[in-house]
């Protein structure tokens, strides 16, 4: 199994690590038994994701996908952040080993889950906008 | 402390020693004869293989005629298990007793053969109890196979006791001694061992060579048929240089087991004590019934592969029982067998040191691993929920445990 330079770069120097105490939306996906949990915090101003932070328990790929996914949505309108796909995350990382693709799925779900929480707090039903976020049962 | 390279994965493989390499060199150069050939070049190679056979035999208390060279430990395990199953099935014996935390070379082979398999439980310290093995032996038991020392957690099993029980009950006993040899004194006669798997590259010999010890008088069907090599029991032109290196490595290792174990064991204990100073950290496997070079620690709240990557970036080569390093869904079957919850097994680290490890290496590892664990815990939401005591996630995970 070989990680790309980009994955190693994001792993060794992850961007946006931390928490936002007064976040407008918080999303958390994964489980300890599966070996990865991602938690994403967003701060929204107008319709723009002004700030984003993450905390991740997981393998090198889980940390790298969290780092790059937060970079990809930072400063973007919510609608655009919702379009972030796991495929785009994999491409931005210059590829992931096949057994690690699930980490990119988790990153996509963590972003959607944080935005879903933001909508709920705003009194908007996220269901019709985001749809179901499948519970990841140790997907590989 | 400056960055340095520390190889702490000697349970995976070892560096070829100078003495072993020097012993091998002539057989990689001018000594290229085929040991089966009648001319001088062939006879010289045959003599070198014969000498190595004696060296290996002497290191385990066997007769040279009881040692058969193989391509390594996995082949030896396959041969012992498959051969026994074939010969004893004919006698109506189709039951095998083994343990839950065997190496995959044994476990996968056993599961593939269509036999009645009883896998003995392992206690929380990573030790198989002799009385549990005895209780599993039946009239139709063909074989008992229990590893000498576990490859992940380094625990040493009561081999002599199990051997005595098997001998008394008239059941064949095989042990995979790949991790144990050279680290603990082995005497196949006193320990009532019928078959034993050995491997060269765990002991400063090259990869691709090992042996199966087969007790005199046993008729074990061949695994590899063909030419008359190894007294007709294992075909294939001998890996002369590898065999010579293996013989030399066994001879060297057998000389000073006690002295080396004391030196390496002291470094191991220092490493364990230092790492256990971190909160929510546990040693996997018994602290005393343990190979001198094995450290296996679980750090709660972090995942093993990310720890390995971070250590690699700091020059430390180690391994982990996390699922992420194996590419499978589950963490190590060994760690699960001693009762670790999945999430704790994911955060395991195995360091396997040897006599070349220095005190400076130990200091460096303690400092670097501690820093890496703190860094990863700092970015782990699981760690946050563990320390906040608001431990719903872990509670849920414990509930969901299979």
Distance from CA of A1 to the nearest CA of B (A): 9
Residue B87, by phi and psi: left (phi above 0), alpha (psi -120 to 50) or beta?
alpha
Q: What is the per-residue pLDDT for B401?
A: 52
Whether the predicted pLDDT of B22 surpasses 50: yes
Query: Which residues does chain B have within 8 Å of residue A17's beta carbon, measured at their own beta carbons?
Result: 378-379
Q: What is the per-residue pLDDT for B389?
A: 81
Q: What value does the mean pLDDT of chain A take?
A: 93
Q: What value does the mean pLDDT of chain B take?
A: 94
Q: What is the per-residue pLDDT for A140?
A: 46
Q: List, for residues B25-47, the tens digit of each pLDDT value.
A: 999 999 999 999 999 999 999 99
Query: Which residues does chain B have within 8 Å of residue A28's beta carbon, measured at their own beta carbons?
Result: 381
User: Which chain B residue has the Cα nearest residue A27?
Assistant: B381
Q: Which residues of B fall below an 8 Å CB-CB distance to A?
A: 301-303, 305-306, 309-310, 313, 322-324, 327, 329, 331, 341-343, 346, 378-384, 393-394, 396-397, 400-401
ipTM for the predicted complex: 0.94
Backbone angles phi, psi at B316, to 5 degrees: -105, 125
User: Which chain B residue has the Cα nearest residue A97?
Assistant: B327
Q: What does DSSP assign to residue B66?
A: G
Q: List, for residues B348-388, the tens digit of each pLDDT value.
A: 999 999 999 999 999 999 999 999 999 999 999 999 999 99
With a pLDDT cut of 90, the percent of chain A lying above it is 83
Contact B343, A33 (CB under 8 A): yes
**DSSP H/E element including B312:** helix B304-313
Residue A110 binned pLDDT confidence (cut-offs 50, 70, 90): very high
Query: Which residues does chain A have within 8 Å of residue B303's beta carbon, measured at their own beta carbons?
Result: 35-36, 57-59, 62
Whether the predicted pLDDT of B203 surpasses 80: yes
- Structure pTM? 0.92
- Do residue A36 and residue B303 have CB atoms under 8 angstroms apart? yes
Distance from CA of B338 to the nearest CA of A (A): 16
- Do residue A33 and residue B341 have CB atoms under 8 angstroms apart? yes
Query: Which residues does chain B have within 8 Å of residue A59's beta carbon, measured at their own beta carbons?
Result: 303, 305-306, 322, 324
- Do residue A33 and residue B397 have CB atoms under 8 angstroms apart? yes
Q: List, for residues B302-337, the tens digit of each pLDDT value.
A: 999 999 999 999 999 999 987 666 566 678 999 999
Q: What is the per-residue pLDDT for A76?
A: 98
Angle at B325 between CA B176 and CA B208, to 5 degrees: 40
Contacts of residue B251, defined as CB under 8 A and 6 or more positions apart, other chains included, come to B55, B58, B59
- Do residue B309 and residue A37 have CB atoms under 8 angstroms apart? no
pLDDT, mean of residues B259-271: 97
Q: List, for residues B113-169, the tens digit of each pLDDT value.
A: 878 999 999 999 999 999 999 999 999 999 999 999 999 999 999 999 999 999 999
Number of CB pairs < 8 Å for A and B? 82
pLDDT, mean of residues A84-106: 94
CB atoms within 10 A of CB A6: 15
Whether the predicted pLDDT of B391 surpasses 80: no
- Do residue B322 and residue A59 have CB atoms under 8 angstroms apart? yes
Q: What is the per-residue pLDDT for B37?
A: 97
Q: What is the per-residue pLDDT for B402?
A: 43
- Do residue A1 and residue B346 have CB atoms under 8 angstroms apart? no
């Amino acid at each position: 199994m070989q990680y790309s330079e980009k994955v190693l770069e994001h792993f060794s120097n992850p961007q946006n690590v931390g928490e936002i105490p007064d976040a407008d939306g918080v999303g958390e996906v994964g489980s300890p038994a599966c070996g990865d949990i991602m938690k994403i915090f967003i701060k929204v101003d107008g319709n723009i994701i002004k700030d984003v932070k993450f905390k991740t328990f997981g393998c090198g790929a889980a940390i790298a996908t969290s780092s790059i996914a937060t970079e990809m949505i930072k400063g973007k309108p919510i609608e655009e952040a919702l379009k972030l796909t796991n495929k785009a995350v994999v491409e931005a990382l210059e590829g992931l080993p096949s057994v690690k693709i699930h980490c990119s799925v988790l990153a996509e779900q963590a972003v959607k889950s944080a935005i879903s929480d933001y909508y709920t707090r705003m009194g908007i039903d996220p269901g019709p906008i985001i749809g179901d976020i499948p519970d990841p049962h140790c997907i590989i | 402390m400056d960055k340095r390279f520390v190889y702490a994965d000697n349970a995976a493989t070892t560096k070829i020693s100078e003495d072993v390499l020097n012993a091998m060199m002539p057989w990689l150069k001018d000594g290229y004869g085929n040991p089966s050939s009648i001319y001088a070049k062939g006879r010289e190679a045959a003599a070198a293989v014969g000498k190595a056979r004696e060296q290996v035999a002497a290191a385990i208390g066997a007769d040279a005629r009881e040692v058969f060279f193989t391509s390594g430990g996995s082949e030896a395990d396959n041969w012992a298990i498959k051969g026994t199953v074939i010969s004893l099935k004919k006698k109506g014996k189709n039951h095998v007793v083994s343990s839950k935390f065997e190496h995959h070379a044994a476990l996968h082979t056993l599961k593939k053969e269509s036999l009645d398999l009883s896998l003995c439980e392992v206690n929380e310290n990573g030790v198989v109890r002799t009385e549990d093995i005895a209780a599993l032996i039946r009239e139709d038991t063909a074989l008992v196979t229990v590893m000498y020392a576990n490859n992940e957690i380094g625990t040493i099993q009561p081999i002599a006791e199990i051997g005595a029980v098997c001998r008394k009950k008239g059941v064949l006993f095989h042990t995979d001694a790949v991790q144990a040899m050279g680290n603990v004194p082995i005497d196949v006669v006193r320990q009532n061992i019928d078959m034993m798997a050995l491997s060269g590259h765990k002991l400063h010999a090259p990869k691709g060579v090992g042996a199966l010890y087969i007790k005199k008088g046993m008729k074990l069907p061949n695994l590899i048929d063909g030419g008359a090599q190894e007294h007709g029991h294992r075909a294939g032109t001998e890996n002369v240089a590898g065999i010579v290196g293996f013989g030399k490595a066994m001879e060297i290792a057998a000389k000073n087991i006690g002295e080396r174990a004391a030196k390496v064991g002291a470094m191991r204990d220092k490493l364990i004590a230092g790492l256990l100073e971190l909160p929510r950290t546990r040693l996997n496997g018994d602290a005393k019934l343990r190979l001198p070079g094995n450290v296996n620690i679980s750090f709660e709240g972090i995942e093993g592969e990310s720890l390995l990557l971070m250590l690699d970036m700091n020059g430390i080569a180690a391994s982990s029982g996390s699922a992420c390093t194996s590419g499978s869904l589950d963490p190590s079957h060994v760690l699960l067998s001693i009762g670790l919850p999945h999430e704790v097994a994911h955060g395991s680290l195995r360091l396997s040191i040897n006599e070349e490890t220095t005190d400076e290496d130990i200091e460096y590892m303690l400092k670097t691993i501690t820093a890496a664990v703190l860094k990863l815990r700092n970015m782990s939401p699981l760690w946050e929920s563990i320390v906040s005591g608001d431990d719903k996630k872990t509670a849920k995970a414990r509930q969901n445990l299979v």
